[in-house]
A and B are shown apart, each in its own frame.
Chain A
Amino acid sequence: DQQVKQNSPSLSVQEGRISILNCDYTNSMFDYFLWYKKYPAEGPTFLISISSIKDKNEDGRFTVFLNKSAKHLSLHIVPSQPGDSAVYFCAASARIQGAQKLVFGQGTRLTINP
């Protein structure tokens, strides 16, 4: 039962262009959504988050959009830079059985081409 899905295992974008990473979820109890970035041989690092009461959050080159009716969120990176090449995980948070739990998607490998 994959509650958080990232349907694109990989994405390739030209440097300077916009990268759009997508994520779908099924559980309407999720109240917070996060994006993590992971480089090889390192643990994931937090990138940006959004509360379910908002539809957009922006931090520099990174913007996350949330469409609750479609149970869909996306991460926009503009302009894309070579250092953005990494695996991006979407995660959703909900209080389940009395504790806040994070559920991760499978990840999307983003490659920025010079």
Chain B
Amino acid sequence: DSGVTQTPKHLITATGQRVTLRCSPRSGDLSVYWYQQSLDQGLQFLIQYYNGEERAKGNILERFSAQQFPDLHSELNLSSLELGDSALYFCASSLRTSVGNEQFFGPGTRLTVL
């Protein structure tokens, strides 16, 4: 158990819809990262927040957005969903944006868009 929690575990929705994925980091961790893993793909970095502020952006679509709240939990919002958005979405956390950057991953949310 990494200490990072993600809800929901599974999500099935239709094209055009909007969903929100939630992540609670490990106690004390200030950084939250979101990743997408599509079928047979590696982990693609989407976005990072540090203590409530956006810190880095990766391959995140404009239809996607995220935020980190004062209690440090984070939400990833996916809108106008397309079939290709079906993937595993992982959240990870770390104490800071350290050089070693060891991140602790949650179990993921599996999103299926029908």
Residues from chain B with Cβ under 8 Å of A99 in the complex? 48, 55-56, 97
Number of B interface residues in the complex (CB < 8 A): 28
Please give, as numbers and ranges, the residues of chain B lying within 8 Å of A93 by CB-CB distance.
Answer: 99-101
- Verify B40–A43 contact, CB threshold 8 A: no
Q: Are A100 and B101 in contact (CB under 8 A)?
A: yes
Are B42 and A89 neighbours in the complex by a CB distance under 8 Å?
yes
Per-position binary interface string of chain A over residues 91-114, scored 1 when its CB falls under 8 Å from any chain B CB and 0 otherwise: 101001111111111110000000
Do B99 and A45 touch across chains, with their CB atoms under 8 A apart? no
The A/B interface has a contact count, at CB < 8 Å, of: 71
Determine which of A41, A46, A100, A105 lies in contact with B107 in the assembled complex, contact meaning CB atoms within 8 Å: A41
Question: Please, how many residues of chain A have a CB less than 8 angstroms from a CB on the other chain?
Answer: 30
Out of A6, A43, A98, which one reaches B105, CB within 8 Å? A43
Binary interface encoding of chain B residues 1-43 relative to chain A, with 1 for a CB under 8 A from any of its CBs, else 0:
0101000000000000000000000000000010100001111
Q: Is B92 an interface residue (CB 8 A)?
A: yes
Bound state CA distance, A43 and B37, in angstroms?
Answer: 11
- Taking a contact as CB atoms closer than 8 A, the residue among A31, A49, A106 that contacts B102 in the complex is A49
Give the interface of A toward B (CB within 8 A): 4, 6, 9, 31-32, 34, 36, 41-46, 49, 51, 89, 91, 93, 96-107
Supply 14 A–B pairs (Cβ within 8 Å), ascending by A.
Answer: A6-B42, A34-B101, A41-B107, A43-B4, A43-B105, A44-B90, A46-B102, A51-B99, A89-B43, A93-B99, A99-B97, A100-B99, A104-B44, A105-B42
